[in-house]
């Protein structure tokens, strides 16, 4: 049956009884915490089927899908997205290059439709190929088959754990719809958000709105049941078992049990109470990754130019972190690690490169075929809007007068002019780097460290409630 759950051979071979028992024990522990009775499966639903959302569901399916009486793992994506002919041809090449995938499709009587799609005799759809383990944003990295649901109400109405895999720009809309299906619920679900992005709000004071906050406001689910998971990782590499780590952030009640449940030998999950600031940092690095891609393309991958950019962009991120966090030094390692991997292989850096090369244009929007949503674009607008508010002013080191924080962030200002108001071309990023009046990035860090910069209002919460306990 199409959509039935079978584990790929290269993931199932070598599993010892001891490892299976260890997984089952972790599953039983989580089921017990959630009060699940025998015969009532733990229902885990991924909402959104981008690269990371699909990989997250596939990791859970590979680990726990064998315990069918105890857990049900599904993923929702919107129906009707057609796979274009060029992608179908590439998909066929990928299938035939992987013997395990080819055999699986033949065994499932699904291979013929990919032959027909390559020939142009059939149109494939994104939800259809996802059932066979192919994410439209990650064609080159096949996953295990997934149970796909295209009706959102069917997917979420009785879910125990919902994983938010939709972009931050779509989170509010999707969860407002979900809230309509939860009106009769007695117990609240657990929600794990994977989204990295922010929105800006200016009333009653300038502040950031994160995806977990959007979910809380849309559904009424308390923040203690909403968590954020993020880290320095590339989705396809995690599924291919490259060693990776992540943090699940939120209230103590759920983050520790979930960290244990999600942890795998190649995917180490730590836990942290600081939900909102980790979530915001996940959005901040996407801003500067776009600029890094531009610099790489415009300088023919010059190591020197990229290092100059890195010095300036990291100093701006440190500066902004001091505005957002009471103890910013605790975020330095995770933020730099996440930034580093995004610059190496992330979609935001790729987007910057393609813009600078002229292979894509801003008129194409920030949702790119084969890549998904480029969340750094909206984050540029949000951070610029927030940091341009005079109510957050800081003392300019040279002019000795109050200025909006954005005036000390020339890279952010330039990216805003390129991406949002479009008054400059990508070349402007190099002009910003080569401006002889630009301050030493060390000075920006010293300014942040020598002043009482911290603005808890930026995170939309008073100081006392910044940390989930």
Closest CA to 456 of 354, 313, 306, 326: 326
Ordered DSSP codes for 359-406? SS-GGG-SEETTTEE-HHHHHHHHHHHHHT-GGG-EE-TTT-SEE-GG
Q: What is the dihedral of CA 420, 421, 424, 429, to 10 degrees?
A: -30
What lies within 8 Å, CB to CB, of 140 at 6+ separation is: 94, 236
Cα separation values, 400 from 382, 394, 451, 461, Å: 27, 10, 14, 30
**Cα–Cα distance measured from residue 73 to residue 243, given in angstroms and rounded to the nearest whole number:** 24
SS3 at position 168: helix
Annotation says 19 is catalytic: no
| Per-residue CA distances from 381 to 79, 139, 406 (Å) | 30, 30, 12
Exposed / middle / buried, residue 226 (Cβ in 10 Å: 0-12, 13-18, 19+): buried
Rounded to whole angstroms, the Cα distance separating 260 from 400 reads 51
Rounded (5°) CA angle 249-252-254? 80
CA neighbours closer than 13 Å in the CB half-sphere of residue 351: 30
Q: What is the DSSP string of 104-157?
A: HHHHTT-HHHHHHHHHTS---BHHHHHHTT--TT-TTS------EE--HHHHHT
* Radius of gyration in angstroms for the set of CA atoms belonging to the chain, rounded to a whole number: 23
State phi, psi for 32 to the nearest 5 degrees. -65, -45
Cβ contact 15:132 at 8 Å: no
Compute how many other C-beta atoms are within 10 angstroms of the C-beta atom of residue 201.
Answer: 16
Q: Which residue of the set 70, 131, 147, 285 is catalytic?
A: 285
Rounded CA-CA distance 420/424 in Å is: 10
Give the pair of three-digit tokens for residue 33. Answer: 């915490």
**In this structure, are residues 385 and 200 in contact, taking their beta carbons and an 8 Å threshold?**
yes
Chain position carrying tokens 């015969």: 39
Instruction: List residues with catalytic annotation.
Output: 285
């Amino acid at each position: 049956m199409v959509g039935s759950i079978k584990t790929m051979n290269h993931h199932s071979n070598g599993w010892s009884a001891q490892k299976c028992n260890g997984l089952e024990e972790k599953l039983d522990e989580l089921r017990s915490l959630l009060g699940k009775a025998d015969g009532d499966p733990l229902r885990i639903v991924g909402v959104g089927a981008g690269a990371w959302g699909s990989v997250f569901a596939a990791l859970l399916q590979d680990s726990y899908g064998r315990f069918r009486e105890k857990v049900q793992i599904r993923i929702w994506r919107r129906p009707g997205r057609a796979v274009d002919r060029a992608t179908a041809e590439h998909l066929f090449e990928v299938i035939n290059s992987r013997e395990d995938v080819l055999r699986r499709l033949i065994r499932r009587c699904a291979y013929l439709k990919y032959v027909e799609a390559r020939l142009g005799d059939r149109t494939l759809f994104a939800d259809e190929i996802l059932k066979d383990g192919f994410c439209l944003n990650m064609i080159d990295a096949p996953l295990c088959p997934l149970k796909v649901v295209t009706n959102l109400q069917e997917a979420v109405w009785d879910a125990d754990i919902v994983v938010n895999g939709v972009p931050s720009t779509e989170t509010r809309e999707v969860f407002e719809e979900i809230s309509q299906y939860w009106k009769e619920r007695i117990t609240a679900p657990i929600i794990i958000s994977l989204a990295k992005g922010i929105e800006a709000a200016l009333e009653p004071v300038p502040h950031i709105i994160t995806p977990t906050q959007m979910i809380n406001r849309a559904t009424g689910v308390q923040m203690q049941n909403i968590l954020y998971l993020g880290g320095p990782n590339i989705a396809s590499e995690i599924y291919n078992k490259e060693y990776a780590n992540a943090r699940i952030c939120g209230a103590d009640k759920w983050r520790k049990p979930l960290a244990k449940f999600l942890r795998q030998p190649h995917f180490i999950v730590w836990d942290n109470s600081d939900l909102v600031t980790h979530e915001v940092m996940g959005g901040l690095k996407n801003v500067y990754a776009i600029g890094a891609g531009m610099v790489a393309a415009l300088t023919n991958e010059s190591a020197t130019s990229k290092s100059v950019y890195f010095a300036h962009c990291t100093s701006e991120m440190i500066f902004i972190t001091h505005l957002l966090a009471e103890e910013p030094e605790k975020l330095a390692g995770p933020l730099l690690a996440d930034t580093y991997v995004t610059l190496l292989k992330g979609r935001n850096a790729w987007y910057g490169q393609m813009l600078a090369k002229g292979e894509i244009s801003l008129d194409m929007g920030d949702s790119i075929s084969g890549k998904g949503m480029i969340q750094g674009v909206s984050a540029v607008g949000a951070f610029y809007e927030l940091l341009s508010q005079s109510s957050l002013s800081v003392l300019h080191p040279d002019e000795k007068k109050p200025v909006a924080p954005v005036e000390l962030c020339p890279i952010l200002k330039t990216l805003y002019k390129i991406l949002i108001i479009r008054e400059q071309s990508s070349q402007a990023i190099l002009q910003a780097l080569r401006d002889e009046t630009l301050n030493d990035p060390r000075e920006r860090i010293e300014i942040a460290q020598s002043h009482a910069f911290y603005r808890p209002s930026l995170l939309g919460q008073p100081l006392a409630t910044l940390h989930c306990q």
